Amino acid sequence: MERASARVARLASQVSGQSPPAGTTAEDMVRAEACFRSEEFHQQCYSFDPGRLLLNQVALITGAGQGVGKCTALLFASHGARVVCCDIEGDKAQATADFIRNANGVATALTGDVTDPAFPARAVALAVKEYGGLHILVNNAGFTWDGVIHTMPEAQWQTMLQVHLTAPFRLIQAAATAMRGAAKEELGRTGRAHPRVVLNVSSVSGTHGSAGQTNYAAAKAGVVGLTKALAREWGAFNIRCNALVFGYINTRLVQSKDSGNTIEAGGHVVKLGIPGAKAAAEFAQKSIALGRVGAAEEAAGAMLMLASPYSSYISGQAIEVTGGGWL
């Protein structure tokens, strides 16, 4: 009898659109194609309630206490997802989860620092324990710590890499059993895997560069590479991986440094925001095709689009959400 792993490999080649390897039977090809031509798939894509795009999906979102992460958690929950809201500021993560539950949604909160090596396993374990699995992973948590390269301490450089690149790597690795492993088991048992999604937040700083942000830009560029490589590794298991490249989104990261928003990183208190925020916003508005900065709710909308069945054939992409800026 054919080993399950060999059968999975053959079916996966069809799912990924590559030429079938030697030994692939017509039956294998029909089964693989059926993953995407089945009545259930079409019902999911075209016959669902428009307000329930993520019904019964389990989503883990980092940085869910405020800004884009919070808006994403609320939006996902409103579309039927069960959400694990993670944030380094536990009271804010709890507030997001409470808001969802008060609106008759399903959510739980987790306090944790994404740079803590123990955090990823703890977060994934909570999702599996509370809701039985994990379908959507959103690596959103982060902040900026700006400085010019010729005076930047190495700790400042390493902190941005840890937050924006190493943390997503660790979370993806921790989620491997709940996502890739579960999909592999489904493929071996039924010949098809339920759709799963990894969304990584990048930035135009990573794709276009930004003076004073060599550390942040390097990390966010790395996120794009991580996403594309992961899409190739996990695509055979019906796991889509995309990066969202955000432009000027109105969150605390683009407020004035005098706003009083801070975060502790590596024993340092980092002032959040940018110098000359007002002038920067005015410049951004003039250079953005839509003539305005983006809202966190709009960024969350892009997240929903990529997590939904409507994006079932989008993977390995770095989607710019910029309002027509950085063209």
* Number of Cβ within a 10 Å radius of residue 43: 11
Write the CA distances from 251 to 29, 144, 294, 299, integer angstroms: 47, 12, 9, 11
Distance of CA 5 to the CA centre of its chain: 28
Tell me, what's the pLDDT at 98? Answer: 98
| Half-sphere exposure at residue 272, Cβ-oriented, CA atoms within 13 angstroms | 14
Nearest to 259 by CA among 245, 276, 239: 276
Distance CA 168, CA 160 (A): 12
Superfamily for the 55-321 domain: NAD(P)-binding Rossmann-like Domain (3.40.50.720)
pTM, 2 dp = 0.84
> Hey, where are the domains in the chain?
55-321
| Secondary structure string (H, E, C) spanning the chain | CCCHHHHHHHHHHHHCCCCCCCCCCHHHHHHHHHHHHCHHHHHHHHCCCCCCCCCCCEEEEECCCCHHHHHHHHHHHHCCCEEEEEECCHHHHHHHHHHHHHCCCEEEEEECCCCCCCHHHHHHHHHHHHHCCCCEEEECCCCCCCECHHHCCHHHHHHHHHHHHHHHHHHHHHCHHHHHHHHHHHHHHHCCCCCEEEEEEEEHHHHHCCCCEHHHHHHHHHHHHHHHHHHHHHHHHCEEEEEEEECCECCHHHCEHHHCCEEEECCEEEECCECCHHHHHHHHHHHCCCCCCECHHHHHHHHHHHHCHHHCCCCCCEEEECCCCCC
Q: Return per-residue pLDDT of the chain as tens, 327 residues.
A: 444 444 444 444 443 444 544 555 555 444 444 544 455 544 554 444 557 999 999 999 999 999 999 999 999 999 999 999 999 999 999 999 999 999 999 999 999 999 999 999 999 999 999 999 999 999 999 999 999 999 999 999 999 999 999 999 999 999 999 999 999 999 999 999 999 999 999 999 999 999 999 999 999 999 999 999 999 999 999 999 999 999 999 998 887 777 778 888 667 788 887 767 777 778 777 899 999 999 999 999 999 999 999 999 999 999 999 999 988
Question: Which residue carries 């928003």 as its tokens?
Answer: 261
Distance CA 109, CA 61 (A): 10
| Half-sphere exposure at residue 234, Cβ-oriented, CA atoms within 13 angstroms | 28
Distance CA 256, CA 136 (A): 33
Tell me, what's the pLDDT at 283? Answer: 78
Tell me, what's the pLDDT at 8? Answer: 40
Tokens of 289: 């095709």
* Number of Cβ within a 10 Å radius of residue 240: 23
Q: What type of residue is 240? A: R
Distance CA 44, CA 323 (A): 30
| Residue 216 annotated to the active site | yes
Q: What type of residue is 108? A: T
First to last CA, the chain: 54
Nearest to 247 by CA among 324, 165, 155, 322: 322
Q: Indicate which residue of 131, 216, 310, 313 is catalytic.
A: 216
